[in-house]
Chain A
């Protein structure tokens, strides 16, 4: 029997590395529904979970898959599902349930080009705004964007840790290219992998208030069977978890739900800066497009143009303070993403006209060429 953590050097696809990251993080339940190009995450989980005492189930659709992982997490298991754009759309209602009930779970979206069935076997980054706003109502979400098979391994662990720490669903917004490319992945010794577990309810069972803010604004959680006899509902609720149909209850609940993410932005937001110190022009990008961005920076530098890159590792919540800071120093910025301007809107919002911001976008189906990025910088900024 293989262990949960496959310590060693491997050559594996991003999808497989994602599954291995989940197992290393302690995931014991996967409810899935196959969809290209995310299928290999589910397939790997179906082989590996029963080996380590976990459970894989292929549900009847993505709606059921998402519902099942919320249920499994309420029963105490770290849980995950994976999908691509059309399935992601179907998961949105129960993603909202996970948000309002504060149920930790991880959803992997291996993006393909849309809308609708689009290009199932070709990549895009077109679900970034769906990730932010796809469910109904106001909410905050954590979404990450890995740029390599190695990184998806670590980010999946990180995603589980953030999910448990903040009692929230966490999204991994990868894409077909990262999901299907094979790369070297080094998996460390199990003892070197730091995992976070949800803060459990303790103390007198008759005094437990399931939705009273704990540390960081996150309530300690009682799983089903822990003896606390909790009531968990998707309705607006009070600290007891009981439905409360008032303006005041909605405001109090929303303030804490939004606040637990917003007030801990410094702990949640991750980014990488590349040759940014002296940069006149800054590429803002994420995920697979960061590979384009890095090549563009190197090529531009070789041509004597001072270009740097801000790579968003956590796309949501958005690194707005960092973008504002960069906008005050740079001469121009470009957003590079495989869609027609989703994260670009956020960059523009944060730059707020301080410097010109241009989009290097593509509707999906292929990567963006570094040459296109350099050409845009030269043309738009008159370099």
Chain B
């Protein structure tokens, strides 16, 4: 190979190639989908954070975002629908050296998986949970989710969603998450920074990523692919430390982004060691 060819090959390398199973690309995500951006920011955050990637695991549930684990060149686990968090909890507790990142969608984490989310947050299990929220069940064809806005149309709410959606950061905060942030896929750098902060938090970290789903959500709600991004640009209000009760996703009023909670507290394994490993206590005292 000539030097020119080498230079060309080097230039065509993506900076995240070493974190990707490049042999599995192209991915399955649709044109205009936000998951790729969320995934890319997540990997960039992992890389820039300086964590030991040999000891870093990605766990996903089921759905479009759940396919993330299949593309990352880390130990990666694509589990059952809604159960990424309890799977990840078992993993983290069995080997506390692992950095465990859960990357999944709103349908997976908050409808079928809602119970697991609230308890992992309560325990402050040392996980970083990244939720790509595209307001619907994308992979199954655009059905209503726990995050679908009131009156939005989906294949199972043809007349409009009669229910109210979750305010996910409020839920995470109320359950005890020690780090909570929200960004959109338009805010890739902020999102990357949030991932870095989340990885550094020694407890349950939750990062919500608002993402467009032009094929299954946008199409039914009169949002062309760029319309969603325009909403993200024009209607987002960056307000760190905003109170979680102000964080409803309401595009009329504006949607608040930022870091809302960053209050490290002892994580589940620290508490377990302190409370349950009675025999080790005297040894620790004598060492001190």
Residues on A facing B (Cβ under 8 Å): 1, 28-29, 31, 50-51, 55-57, 59-61, 63-65, 67-77, 79, 93-94, 96-97, 222-235, 242-243
Contacts and interface: CB of A to CB of B under 8 A. Distances in A.
Contact of A29 (B79, B93, B98): B93
A63 B84 CA distance: 11
Contacts of B80: 67, 93-94, 96-97, 234
Closest 9 CB pairs of A and B: A71-B90, A68-B90, A72-B94, A64-B86, A72-B90, A233-B78, A77-B94, A67-B86, A71-B87
A234 B272 contact: no
B224 interface: no
Contacts of A225: 54-55, 57, 75, 95, 97-98
B277 A50 contact: yes
Nearest to A59: B86
A232 B74 CA distance: 11
B276 A50 contact: yes
Contacts of B91: 71-72, 74-75, 224
Nearest to A60: B119
Contacts of B69: 231, 233
B73 interface: yes
Nearest to B74: A229
Given A67-B87, A79-B90, A74 B77 contact: yes
Contacts of A93: 80, 83
B59 interface: yes
7 contacts: A50-B272, A64-B89, A71-B89, A71-B94, A222-B75, A225-B97, A242-B24
A56 to B, nearest CB: 8
A229 B73 contact: yes
Given A1-B279, A229-B75, A68 B87 contact: yes
Interface residues of B, number: 39
Interface in B62-107: 69-70, 73-80, 83, 85-95, 97-98
Contacts of A227: 54
Interface string B177-212: 000000000000000000000000000000000000
Interface of B: 21, 24, 54-55, 57, 59, 69-70, 73-80, 83, 85-95, 97-98, 115-116, 119, 269, 272, 276-279
Contacts of A69: 90
Nearest to A31: B90
Contacts of A60: 86, 115-116, 119
Contacts of A224: 57, 75, 77, 91, 95, 98
B116 A64 contact: yes
Contacts of B77: 71, 74, 224, 231-233
Contacts, number: 143
A166 B78 CA distance: 21
Contacts of B92: 75
A93 B91 CA distance: 18
A59 B24 CA distance: 35
Nearest to B119: A60
A358 B92 CA distance: 51
B94 A232 contact: no
A231 B21 CA distance: 10
A235 B78 contact: yes
B89 A68 contact: yes
Contacts of A63: 83, 86
Nearest to B54: A227
A197 to B, nearest CB: 15
A79 B54 CA distance: 23
A211 to B, nearest CB: 14
Nearest to B123: A57
A232 B78 contact: yes
A1 B89 CA distance: 27
Nearest to A61: B115
B63 to A, nearest CB: 12
B162 to A, nearest CB: 28
A67 B279 contact: no
A93 B113 CA distance: 14
Contacts of B73: 229
A77 B74 contact: no
Given A75-B94, A76-B95, 12 more contacts: A29-B90, A61-B115, A64-B89, A64-B116, A67-B83, A70-B87, A71-B79, A79-B90, A94-B79, A225-B95, A231-B77, A232-B77
Given A60-B115, A64-B116, A224-B95, A231 B90 contact: no
A145 B87 CA distance: 28
Nearest to B89: A68
A77 B88 CA distance: 13
A232 B75 CA distance: 8
B50 to A, nearest CB: 17
Contact of B76 (A31, A57, A67, A231): A231
A65 to B, nearest CB: 8
Contacts of B115: 60-61, 64
Contact of A234 (B79, B88, B94): B79
Contacts of A55: 93-94, 269, 272
A28 B70 contact: no
B70 A71 contact: no
A226 to B, nearest CB: 8
Nearest to A101: B77
B18 to A, nearest CB: 11
A226 B98 CA distance: 11
A57 B276 CA distance: 11
A75 to B, nearest CB: 4
A60 B70 CA distance: 27
B93 A57 contact: yes
B54 to A, nearest CB: 5
A123 to B, nearest CB: 29
Contacts of B59: 71
